[in-house]
Amino acid sequence: MARSASPHAQPPGATGVLVFADGRVIWGEGFGHEGAAVGELCFNTAMTGYQEILTDPSYDSQVVCFTFPHIGNVGANAEDVESAGLGALGCVVRERVTPHSSFRAEDELGDWMRAHRKIGIAGVDTRALTRLVRREGAPNVVIAHDPAGQFDLEALQGQAAGWSGLAGLDLVPRVSRQKQETWGGGYWQLGKGYGRAEWKDRPHVVAIDYGSKDNIFRNLARAGAKVTVVPARTSFDEIMALGPAGVFLSNGPGDPAATGAYAVPVIRALLEADVPLFGICLGHQLLALAAGARTVKMHQGHRGANHPVKRPADGAVEITSMNHGFAVDNATLPEGVEETHASLFDGTNCGIAITGKRAFGVQYHPEASPGPQDSFYLFEKFVGMLL
């Protein structure tokens, strides 16, 4: 990982650069989209699913450092996309992206990233970069790619230093659907792709889209629900007019306290109406805020596909997929809110249930994609509440 505070130290052939707000510079080989973007640097430890990660809307305004060195080796395809044109700004990888080796590939990762305006930098010591984030916290950076290797480092540093960061930032309007949609996709099967869901005699779930991964809706359908997806700013009255048996609160990017300015009153009204609720990630955090808890910005966040979570009620451990930089402060959970899951890495809150209500949420991603499927039972639990 080469660092420099001067453009004169640019290594020969460097066409990609990561510029920190404090002036540190990391050079590499650019790929994907040409241009520059400002955001928060984070790291993800998953060994599979790079395309699903890059298209997860929860990564809006973030650059992902992949700790697994071989990114791009299975190419890219339309089936592994989790959202349309949304997700991370780009990524930093250790090895140069080589031609794919997978019968499912429809495109090379670099070409796919170029088409989806995501910037990549290869040839970086991602182990050292990950240690930096763990030590100092998630920094503000600019990621840039220019095939000619022409970079104005002073301007890029100014852009990184001038960015507000994720704290206090509501990013949901950038990634939420703008129109109501009836979800029709089914579960994926190798060689068959995604099937179509059947809606006859199924309980109706209204899913509020704060920046959701599509696999969540597929799992709701797989568990036996009919799903209608609505924009993040849909009102309580508009939701109730759809006649929901239950309401799902999706994942999404940004600071939950900022999004809570308009989301929390709706969720509180749903709680008062005794509508069954299930929240994932940002949706979990918003449910906690509605119940009277607070959220905090984490030092480095949790992002990966091997995070152990313990259920205090029975001592069982689930291996989960995670992606969050904010967390519910478990010290602020009020009376009547039970902690149902906790991280075995650092003890942070990973699940709540509200006493006397059919309402619960988890900080992790039971829909996986990528990751283990230990927690699919949560979708069955929610749909079972509606029958």
SS3 content of the chain, % helix, strand, coil (to 5): 25, 30, 45
Report whether 310 contacts 281 (CB < 8 A).
no
Cis peptide bond upstream of 57, omega within 30: no
Helical axes 256-272 vs 282-291, angle rounded to 10°: 60
Tally: H helices and E strands in the chain = 10, 19
Check 29, 82, 318, 367 and give the catalytic one.
367
- 281 assigned to active site: yes
Report whether 305 contacts 270 (CB < 8 A).
no
Which tokens belong to 4? 């420099």
Check 91, 281, 302, 307 and give the catalytic one.
281
Q: How far apart are CA 362 and CA 309, in angstroms?
A: 10
- 367 assigned to active site: yes
Block residue for tokens 């984030």: 133
Residue type, 321: S
- 91 assigned to active site: no
- Three-state secondary structure call for residue 237: helix
- Residues noted as catalytic: 281, 365, 367
